[in-house]
Amino acid sequence: MAKRRKSGNHLGVVIGITVFLVIAFVAIAAFAWFYLFREDAQAATQAVYDEYTQDVVNGNYESIYNLIHEDVQANVDKDTVTARYTNILTGISAQNITFTLLESSEDEDGSGWHYRYRMTMDTSAGTLDNTYSMQICRDSQDQYKIMWSSNLIFPQLDDTDTVRVNTLDAKRGSIYDVNGNVLAEDGNGASVGLVPGKISASTRDADLEKLASLLEVSVDYINEQLSASWVTDDVFVPIRSVAVDDEDLIDQVLEISGVMVNTTSAREYPYGETLAHLTGYVQAISAEELETMADQGYTSSSIVGKSGLEQIYESYLRGTDGCEILVLYSDGTVKETLGYQAAMDGQDVHLTLDADLCQILYDQLDGDNGLAVAMNMKTGAILSLVSTPSYNPNEFVAGITNSSWEALSSDTNLPLYNRYTSTWVPGSSFKPITAAIGLDNGTIDPNAVSASNGLSWQKDSSWGNLFITTLETYGDVTLQKALAYSDNIYFAQQVLNMGRSAFISGLKNVGFGETMPFEMSLGTSTYGTLEESSDEVMLANSGYGQGEMLVNPIHLASMYSAFMNDGNMLQPYLVSNSDELGGEAPQPGSYWKTGVFTSETAQIINEDLRTVITEGTGTQAQSAGVTLAGKTGTAEIKDSQDDTNGTALGWFVAYEVDNTDDPILILMMVEDVLDRDGSHYVVPKVAEAFRQYRGTGE
């Protein structure tokens, strides 16, 4: 009996173990099946997530629709989804889009998977960084698809919302003179247009012909503007912008039925022609400029400086437009601000220039081809830069007409040419520099007296029929009298006496062949082939500013400054806040070159140049009402000594010799003075400028 009981117990154990093993196997199989299925689902949804992110990064917006669940597709078509991504992401200039997966998890009910991730992008309103949640579920084809809505573009965006990008306009910096007068600013322009409902039906064709002619556009162009889809009878249809100061044109167009002139924003130059070469002007960026400047934030609608200070200081004057990206409800009200970047206004440029003095000098040069430079003889501050004839920069801003451009570009007087940045034959205005070089190298004795050489002279018969001539005799010859009466023969002799090498050494000492540091690009003063040549006549002519001598007017003003600064040449400067504009702060009274002449030499020349005004060729300047020193000069421009078809440049450089506070120098040059009494045509103009500026006249 006991043996049977033992056998029965063994059988029960076997059965129990077997059952346990079966259960365990089934459990393990079920567990393995569950996790293998789960891993397959996760891999499949991950693939959908990865494909979506790549489509967004690569801009393959059309492909996104293929990843969307059929239940969603029933309510939105492919074109709508594609357009939504394209319009929004392109509209905000989205780039450098990156995705960072934060976590993925299966839904509690097993219907799908959730992916949490971050998407960052650079936009016109800065970097946007948002966290998203994406659900991926099976469809009827047993494929995983995205349960898409607009909040996958932005979490704040519902399907009925829209996105708007507003540009926040930055103000371009202004240009001011030393007294705070505005030389260039964002101001007003004039937009000429038509109100269709006010156009006379009976005279329509004739009126449009007249308007087209005045604005230099075609009638077809006007009709094209009038036929735009948004045009109604009572709206203003702009046709062309014109200069706000073109009063004659504005008056003429306003006589035409239906024409209105509206104020529009535009760059404005209050001093117009007077300072056009200095300020320059702005215009819409060209395609060529955009190619090289696009990486600096410029767009096809940007305005850029085209010439003058507007171009030189473009990177500082230009502002950086701001931007805001808004989510709007369907009624157009603001739901949320996605991104905001404030506008940054451009920097102002402050000049040492005095616009009042510029206007005085411009008026004195009216009708002439010439230039004027004014400089403080103690600080080097440039007070005036004028070039005539000139042009109206406001016309260029508005979009200059073909006829105006043709008139300017074909004008033989070259109104677009900036004369004070170029180089010119200085004539006798250069004699003080020659004198100072000779005094310093010991070849000129200021006390030496010699007999007159008459009105013409040559070294010897080897010169053939070439003679140095001068305009008048004045008795015994001294340095002082040679300067006062502008004796060409004296300075030709002195240069021959000192020799080519010594003269050229002196020229290099005062900056010939060097680029003068200045805010505007200046022509380099040169002496041509004088150094290589053995021509004695060329050397002799160079001594009184002829030959191949070419001098920049601002450089010449700096040379003259040495006579009031113990032989040191001032560093001219134009911008007083250059330290704020990427340069070094100007130091009034700084020298470009020191010790170019000895203090004794500077004093001798300084006193001798008084004599030019008191008894020499510059006596007309006594009407200035201030005590001046200076030098006249008539530079001959001709092919040879026998040339009778040449012309002449008239020069006068004068400065307030006894003013110890703020002495100014005024340099003026006028072209074509051969038949207008040479430099004597210029002297009274400079004197009058001093008289008006200093208020010394009646």
Where in the sequence numbering do the catalytic residues fall? 428
Contacts of 660 (CB under 8 A, 6+ apart): none
Q: What is the Cβ-side half-sphere exposure of residue 682, based on CA atoms within 13 angstroms?
A: 32
Tell me the C-alpha distance between 175 and 267, whole Å.
11
- Conformation bin of residue 249: beta by default, left when phi > 0, alpha when psi is -120 to 50: alpha
Distance CA 692, CA 400 (A): 35
Q: Residue 175: how many CB atoms within 10 A of its CB? A: 26
For 615-695, where are the alpha helices, taking DSSP H only?
A: 683-694
- Whether the link from the prior residue into 684 is cis, omega within 30° of 0, is no
With CA atoms as reference, report the closest residue to 67 among 87, 44, 98, 91: 44
Contacts 24+ apart (CB under 8 A), 510-516: 510/433, 510/437, 510/559, 510/562, 510/569, 510/593, 510/596, 511/555, 511/558, 511/559, 511/569, 511/592, 511/593, 516/552, 516/554, 516/555, 516/558, 516/572, 516/592
Nearest to 307 by CA among 288, 269, 271, 281: 281
**Residue whose C-alpha is closest to residue 395's, from 516, 306, 504:** 306
Nearest to 549 by CA among 422, 419, 425, 636: 425
Contact yes or no for 400/611 (Cβ under 8 A): no
- For residue 11, the SS3 value is helix
CA distance 369 to 648: 12
Q: Which two tokens stand for residue 475?
A: 């008795």
